[in-house]
Structure 1
Amino acid sequence: MIGIALRTLRFHRGGFVASFVGMFLGAAIVIGCGGLLESGIHRAAPPLRMDAAPIVVSGDQRYHGTAKDEVFAERVPLDAGLAGELAAVPGVAGVAADVSFPVTLTRDGRRLTGHGWSSTRLAPYRLVEGSAPSGKGRIVLSDRLGVRVGETVEALVRGRAERYRVSGLVGGAGNGAFLPDAEAGQAAGRPGEVDSIGLFTAPGADVAKVRRDVERAVDGRQASVLTGDERGLAENPDVMSEGEDLIPLAAAFGGLSAMVTVFVVAATLGLSIRRRRPQTALLRAVGATPGQIRRLIVGETMLLAVVATGLACLPGPHVGRWLLAAFAEAGVVPDTLAYRAGIVPVVAGACTALLTALGAAVVAAHGAARTRPVEALAEASRETRRFSRVRLALGLAFLAGGAALAWGTAGSDGPDAAGVATPAAMVWTAGFALLGPVLAAAVTAALRRPLRAATGCAGYLATENARAGTSRLTGAILPVMLATGLALALTYMQTTQTEGARAVFQENLRADLAVTSPAGGLPLDTVDWIARRPGVAAASAQVTSTGYIEPAELAGPLVHKGDAGEGAPQPPAMALLGVTAAGVTRTTAYRATGGSLDALAGASVALPERFAAPYRIGDTVPMRLGDGSRAALRLVATVRTRPGYETALLPAATLLPHTGGGLVPQIMVSVRPGADRDRLARTLAQGRPGLRVVDRAALSALRAEQDRTQAWMSWLVLAVVVGYAAIALVNAQILAVGERRRQFRLLRLVGAARRQVLRMMAVEAVLVTAAGLAAGALVAAATLIPLSLSVLDAPVPHGSPWILATVIAAALALTLAATLLPTLSLLRARPGGAVAGGRGPHQAVRVEDVLARRAPVELGVALRRLLER
């Protein structure tokens, strides 16, 4: 049978090309997603500034001992005294500590990153003019900035305007600013702490051995020893937290693509094999066994799958690199994260694609092989198979699974609901796909009379064809359902989540103005200065971070990697907001449900009610702040927040030292009743250098822009997945139309004009689109209603109705184009080819067979209807 399979491939080029395209694209996407997953696991960030040091010691960003091994949101600092200890490690020839802080040149607003002068040993910088900064008020800048040695420049450092004399210029990658080491430590706002320490090994020293000795030296501290590509983590610790986000993103994207591939290949292969029923029937009639038929179909499919998957291994890694670059450009992952994928993603993606093709081939072969020999020829001419009980049971099981996931979606917190809703969409899709014949029959019955009334003979022929060819109709409907269902579900899922986040932001926004700085933040004393300005009712700092309530199991010595074990605790994580007690109630919507927010001072905290249950007002709450520091905070109040958006309030002075910049990102201001808000904004902006004042509308616009940036990732995933489904839709429609060659020739033989056949096919395309949209709408509704209940507390998702209109118009346009264009091509052939001269083994048919009603039912219906006219 394998030999027959090889010899018959050339007689069914159309069907195999369609299947090949689906397998090739699906395998390329899955392989690319596998590469993204491995890149997220490695989180490789090749060093730039620290490339000269073979070993770098940096703060360990992991919260070891937790069930999920959480990652701290802020940079974990190191004790500056550690540099001296590491210098004494055998094999270490020298050390260089590094700190980073923002520097903004006031003359052109250019933002630079400042460092201490000794860190130039770590970087590919060289002094090209002048000398090193040797005293206070001296600075060295990049030679790319257009400044000269001896020139005085003004810069914003730690939110204040400072004047520096340029003592030298450096060449090399990047635009840096270098201060004397002591002044750099003060500018970073963390005296006695450094970001990282670079170690230089002695000539001939074994770097691996030195690393082991350094690891023993830092044992018991929140520090990590990095070599190779890991050193980039010291330059950009966001790679650890944001790079880790790439793992679930790639897994979800790859899983979604794999499931779409299953549906696409199964539908396309089913249509292709259905098109060959006369050939299969003939083989069964002359004695071929069911096993031989299965081997024939599976052999053909796997031969095709091997070629398609093998070719997909070439562009697959490029797809992964393109996706990673797109995510980095949108700010979803750091741009320093490198694509690192070996042979594992390629092998895993190829195996997934082959297993998908094998499963689809086995299912399709089962239907073709179960026909009894005495019924084979009749089966080839007319559909007589009933709806399988196994298929019905599986369809109902998937619908039950979708209902369970819908329940879980409705019960999830708003931000987490999409994580449950996305797999729910695929489960619903699988259920409705298995019940496709039932849906197709129901939609055909519902539209039969309206189509006949609106289109006359064309509608009659189209609905009769649909009723007689349920299998073909179902295979054409499935890609439409897949494309429209996923497009509606994923699009409205994103718009609903965006609206939920916007609603929470608007609920919490009570301030009239917000004060920021192009330098990246403001000194904390700016809050008091603003609060004393005429016309200001209240002012409050807003410092954001992330923290954890530390479980008692982790309250002892620091737990390091590998020490967690089974049953490790998962500390409650929540957003942290540093505020000013005197202005928090006037500038935000937070209100105390227990205790008082006025007591937020010193080491204190106001917890969300959800996490405050084990404690009473006045109790001490053990917490880990964003930089990994432990803090014992006194509970002074509880606040009510939306589920999933829980935020703990801390005094800004307490939280600020544990953030990366050590500056207040923005200060919220409420205006006194009767005061001129615009005049106050101008007064504040002119009061101190580097202040920028925006109103509430600008804040909302900025938030919307941030939401759009974060949503870009979802739109990219949507474009790739739905685009693939759309290609499958076109393939399926072309394949389904190609099956109708003999019917078109017979219709032309008995006198039907081309326009009559085209009208019939146009009505069928409308019928397929309507059925696919109905099924897709069911998928979307079953996915979005629970999501909307979770996010918006309402059953109707948020989003423009133009999204629905666009999806409907696109589905109809694609289906019409993929139906009518192949029909026009087939109608170019002479009608006599239906009687004799057909080139394919099943294209020729005798007129007496038609008159004897041995042709397919739809042909008899068409001929009878045309003859009556």
Structure 2
Amino acid sequence: MLTLALRTLRTRWTAFTGGFVALALGVALLTVMGLALASAADAPDRAPRRFAAAPVVVRGEDTLRVPTPTGVRTAALDRPRPVPPRTVAALRALGEVTEDRSFPVRIEGGPPSLVGHPWSTAAFAPYELSAGRAPRTADEVVTTGRWAAPGDRLRTGHGTVRVVGTVTGPGVEDAVFCTDARAARLAPVSDQLVVDADPADVRRVVGDRAQVLTGDARRLADPDPGRDAAAVTALNSLFGTAGGVAAFVSVFVMASTFAFTVAQRRREFGLLRLAGATPGQVRRTVTAEALLVGVAASAAGCALGGYAAPHLAAHTVAGGLAPDWFAIGDHTWPYHAAFWTGLTVALCGVTATSWRAGRTRPAEALREASVDHGALTRGRLLAGTALLATAAGTAGWALLTDPGELLHRKTYVSRPMLLITAVALLSPLLVRPLIRLVAWPASRLPGAGGVLVRENAAAGVRRAASVAAPVLVTVALTGSLLGATATLDAAGAAEARSRTAADFVVTAPDLDEAAVRRLGAVPGTAAVSATATAAVYVVEEGVALVRSAARAADPRALAATTRLPVTSGRLTGLDDDSIVVNEEWERHTVGERIPVLLGDGTRRTLRVAAVLAIGTGDNGVYVTPANAPRAPVDRVEVTVADGADRDAVAAGLREAVRSSDARVRTAAAWLAATAPRSDGTTRLGFLLVLGIALVYAAIALAGTQVMATAGRRRELTALRLAGATAPQVLRLVAAEALTVAAVGALLGVLVAALNLLTMTGALSLLSAPSAPVLPWPALGAAAGGCALTAVVFAVLPVTRATRTTASAGRPRGRRP
């Protein structure tokens, strides 16, 4: 069997090239993914940067710990607790204490994420003066980087300042240093400080009231210390998704390629049966062929993945998708995992096909008919129906029990694969009527070309299904993935518009009470609602500690500037003893009292005043400012009184926050600026997945068309002998390929539409109705790319074949 398989591969190498390349690319991607995961797991601990020269850093507690029957549950607090004043006083007795006070700074023309610090903390990085001197008065500052120079005057939200020096340092952030006295006024509360004392003495004084950071642990006081972990998690998700899709499409392409190969070789298998080969021997021959292809492709894929992984890692670092320390390490297990996975994929892809080959009857050797019969076998019909029923059943169950599950990325990435496989298995049942539908306009034109295209394409059901399958995969994934994000973004934007009743929105990192009072005093305003970003924690089902984003606001002003989707209760019933929750909470009955933990960890038992619909997930919790300690006011919504001049009100609002770091925008402009958008990692992940699908589609289409041409030589000879010219034959073949590609695109759009309809159904049940958004430009590009590939690889082999058949059809002898 092995010798026969080797000879078959040598003589029919074109039939196996598509599967080989597809599997090699899949294994390469799995190798890259495995190497990336292994390298991320060996991530080095980041060294401290902002406090690298600090002896001891004392940081307020930033972790919430809640005991449950199954153990202690932890969550990051909304903001660290300040170090208790008594503890600070006791630490001053041990040595010099420097309080770190940080506050946001916005400067016109400056970096977007500026932060202010007292000058005394610059020595702990250390930052060193590269020009100028240290600040001495309240209107003097020192800046990092090269975006400002000594002598520049900068207009900030806290007034105009003059740059008197610049510093160089670790580059952990874009910072502005002012005098310690000015920093104390701008940031009265400090949640971390530096102590010049013995660490053991500091731990004895602090106890469990704060964190004592020394050595490498001082990195926890750097800005956003968890960004590396978040970046690696996003990177793992990116490669995991791409690897899963690669494995799925590899199996799909391998199965499709081998299925069509077996269909093309049924006379060959019939001859083997006539020569005495048993069904088992035929099955083992086909399996041996797949095994040989799998071994060679997996080895090539491992080599390609090992070469590509470092380049891809460098690209992700350069694009800001991975930390700057991320690099591919020296690991061997990813190669083993990828190789054996690729071999398993090859064998899985050929299993059903080998059984079909083994059932070939000896009489197949005598068959001359070109019309496919029995393309949809009983097993294929049962499998396709079962998968279709599973897809429908799971979607229906999710809609009835947990509609929000259908909106998660892992769900709308994986669900299309189930439906794609079901439709592909049932494609022989759908291809013929769709071909007749697509080709009907051409068949009504004068001449026999349109009718011939329709009948030829409809007669070769197996060939048509094999060509349509990769187009189906590409178009369906494009529509499902890009359409899912577009649909969710459209639903989120519509939900935000429906919630907003204000005319103007004022935003800032932190608005003080004086600025809020000035906004409320602007003539022509009807209602002014100041809201702060906060958090609330609740233990659900007795074991899960759940964090919910919260907004803190005065309930009456909030009701006048927003239209929240209240399903029960009253928004104006909110007070310091109550809370507004959404239907996603385990306990959400109006009047029920729920034990919660506030953003700083304070325990409270609050009464449910109102319940909101879940929506797209942005309908969070609402509390009063008394239950949001230290939460900064970052948004003020303003409605204009009837008859008031909107331009005058806008000018008054800008004047009210002139001395603050705030922006005044119309509600429409604010909604446009804050509209939901997919992040860079998600977009890159989907583009990578769709790129994989398009490459696999091209491979499968090229291989199928080359194999199909080899089996149509007699048909092409008959056409030439019947008087058809070479250009006519080429146009006929191109039209057939285009027709079948259009059928695959129609099936792909159908699958994408069904997936998006499931999502819109879930959104409607969550009180966020939205129409499905099909990404027509992307769908057109995917379908066009597949159609072009199908036509090119159908016409190129036929060009040579028509020349051969033309030569064979000419009578021999001397020309007259």
Normalised by the shorter chain, which TM-score bucket? 0.7 to 0.9
Query: d(CA) in 1 for partners of 2:217 and 2:17?
Result: 43
SS in structure 1 opposite 2:146? coil
Q: Does residue 1:771 correspond to 2:743, yes or no?
A: yes
**Would you say the 8 A contact 1:53–1:200 is kept in 2?**
no
Q: What amino acid does structure 2 have at the position aligned with 1:348?
A: A
> Aligned match of 2:671 in 700, 705, 721?
700
Q: What amino acid does structure 1 have at the position aligned with 2:514?
A: D
SS in structure 1 opposite 2:609? strand
**Would you say the 8 A contact 1:609–1:640 is kept in 2?**
yes
The 3 A distance-change label for structure 1 pair 722 and 343 is same
**What corresponds to 1:310 in structure 2?**
302
**What corresponds to 1:816 in structure 2?**
791
Q: Percent of aligned positions with the same letter in both sequences?
A: 25
Q: Does residue 1:161 correspond to 2:163, yes or no?
A: no
The 3 A distance-change label for structure 1 pair 95 and 21 is farther
The 3 A distance-change label for structure 1 pair 434 and 113 is same
SS in structure 2 opposite 1:748? helix
The 3 A distance-change label for structure 1 pair 717 and 303 is closer
Which range moves more in the overlay, 443-452 or 691-700? 443-452
Spell out, residue by residue over 1:676-695, the C-alpha distance to the aligned partner (whole angstroms, 9 max, x if none). Answer: 11222122213323442111
SS in structure 1 opposite 2:260? helix
**What corresponds to 1:368 in structure 2?**
357
The 3 A distance-change label for structure 1 pair 723 and 468 is closer
Q: Does residue 1:784 correspond to 2:784, yes or no?
A: no
The alpha carbon displacement at 1:87 in A equals 12
SS in structure 1 opposite 2:772? coil
Q: Does residue 1:265 correspond to 2:254, yes or no?
A: yes
Query: d(CA) in 2 for partners of 1:107 and 1:770?
Result: 52
**What corresponds to 1:583 in structure 2?**
557
Q: Does residue 1:480 correspond to 2:455, yes or no?
A: no
**What corresponds to 2:20 in structure 1?**
20
The alpha carbon displacement at 1:498 in A equals 1.2
Query: d(CA) in 2 for partners of 1:14 and 1:652?
Result: 71
**Would you say the 8 A contact 2:267–2:366 is kept in 1?**
no
Question: Structure 2 matches for 1:23-172, cutoff 5 A?
Answer: 23-34=23-34, 46-47=46-47, 49-50=49-50, 52=52, 72=76, 74-76=78-80, 79=83, 100-105=102-107, 111-117=113-119, 119-120=121-122, 122-123=124-125, 125-129=127-131, 139-142=141-144, 144-148=146-150, 151=151, 153-154=153-154, 156=156, 159-161=157-159, 163=161, 166=164, 169-170=167-168
SS in structure 1 opposite 2:550? strand
The alpha carbon displacement at 1:244 in A equals 4.1
Query: d(CA) in 1 for partners of 2:494 and 2:98?
Result: 48
**What corresponds to 2:706 in structure 1?**
735
**What corresponds to 2:620 in structure 1?**
647
Query: d(CA) in 1 for partners of 2:307 and 2:806?
Result: 44
Query: d(CA) in 2 for partners of 1:87 and 1:356?
Result: 66
Equivalenced residue count is 791
The 3 A distance-change label for structure 1 pair 163 and 385 is closer
Structure 1: gaps of 5 or more residues: 203-209, 554-568, 837-869
Query: d(CA) in 2 for partners of 1:319 and 1:273?
Result: 39
The 3 A distance-change label for structure 1 pair 505 and 616 is closer
Query: d(CA) in 2 for partners of 1:119 and 1:375?
Result: 89
Query: d(CA) in 2 for partners of 1:597 and 1:19?
Result: 61
Spell out, residue by residue over 1:53-82, the C-alpha distance to the aligned partner (whole angstroms, 9 max, x if none). Answer: 699887666877789977547454563788
**Would you say the 8 A contact 2:490–2:770 is kept in 1?**
no
The 3 A distance-change label for structure 1 pair 189 and 389 is farther
> Aligned match of 1:354 in 343, 357, 370?
343
**Would you say the 8 A contact 1:46–1:232 is kept in 2?**
no
The alpha carbon displacement at 1:422 in A equals 3.1
SS in structure 1 opposite 2:730? helix
> Aligned match of 2:414 in 413, 423, 429?
423
**What corresponds to 2:643 in structure 1?**
674
Q: Does residue 1:437 correspond to 2:436, yes or no?
A: no
The 3 A distance-change label for structure 1 pair 126 and 805 is closer
Q: Structure 2-normalised TM-score?
A: 0.82
SS in structure 2 opposite 1:827? helix
**Would you say the 8 A contact 1:494–1:711 is kept in 2?**
no
Query: d(CA) in 1 for partners of 2:494 and 2:324?
Result: 33
Q: Structure 1-normalised TM-score?
A: 0.77
Which range moves more in the overlay, 817-826 or 449-458? 449-458
Q: What amino acid does structure 2 have at the position aligned with 1:428?
A: L
> Aligned match of 1:630 in 581, 602, 627?
602
Which range moves more in the overlay, 500-509 or 62-71? 62-71
**What corresponds to 2:502 in structure 1?**
511
**What corresponds to 1:852 in structure 2?**
none
Q: What amino acid does structure 2 have at the position aligned with 1:583?
A: A
Spell out, residue by residue over 1:679-718, the C-alpha distance to the aligned partner (whole angstroms, 9 max, x if none). Answer: 2212221332344211122112202374686873575355
**What corresponds to 1:762 in structure 2?**
734
Query: d(CA) in 1 for partners of 2:412 and 2:237?
Result: 15
**What corresponds to 2:814 in structure 1?**
none
The alpha carbon displacement at 1:430 in A equals 1.0
Query: d(CA) in 2 for partners of 1:366 and 1:710?
Result: 43
SS in structure 1 opposite 2:713? helix
**What corresponds to 2:529 in structure 1?**
540
The 3 A distance-change label for structure 1 pair 777 and 137 is closer
Q: What amino acid does structure 2 have at the position aligned with 1:490?
A: L
**Would you say the 8 A contact 1:581–1:599 is kept in 2?**
yes
The alpha carbon displacement at 1:803 in A equals 5.8
SS in structure 2 opposite 1:147? coil
**What corresponds to 1:550 in structure 2?**
539
Question: Structure 2 matches for 1:793-832, cutoff 5 A?
Answer: 796-799=771-774, 808-829=783-804, 831-832=806-807
**What corresponds to 1:501 in structure 2?**
492
**Would you say the 8 A contact 2:103–2:186 is kept in 1?**
yes
Q: What amino acid does structure 2 have at the position aligned with 1:236?
A: D
Which range moves more in the overlay, 770-779 or 2-11? 2-11
Spell out, residue by residue over 1:560-616, the C-alpha distance to the aligned partner (whole angstroms, 9 max, x if none). Answer: xxxxxxxxx224543311223342112111377776645656575323355384666
**What corresponds to 2:448 in structure 1?**
457
SS in structure 1 opposite 2:698? helix
**Would you say the 8 A contact 1:548–1:572 is kept in 2?**
yes
SS in structure 1 opposite 2:563? coil
SS in structure 2 opposite 1:674? coil
SS in structure 2 opposite 1:547? strand
Q: What amino acid does structure 2 have at the position aligned with 1:574?
A: S
Q: What amino acid does structure 1 have at the position aligned with 2:630?
A: P
> Aligned match of 1:657 in 630, 634, 659?
630
**Would you say the 8 A contact 1:550–1:624 is kept in 2?**
no
| Root mean square deviation of aligned Cα | 4.6
The alpha carbon displacement at 1:23 in A equals 1.6
Q: What amino acid does structure 1 have at the position aligned with 2:484?
A: M
The 3 A distance-change label for structure 1 pair 488 and 608 is closer
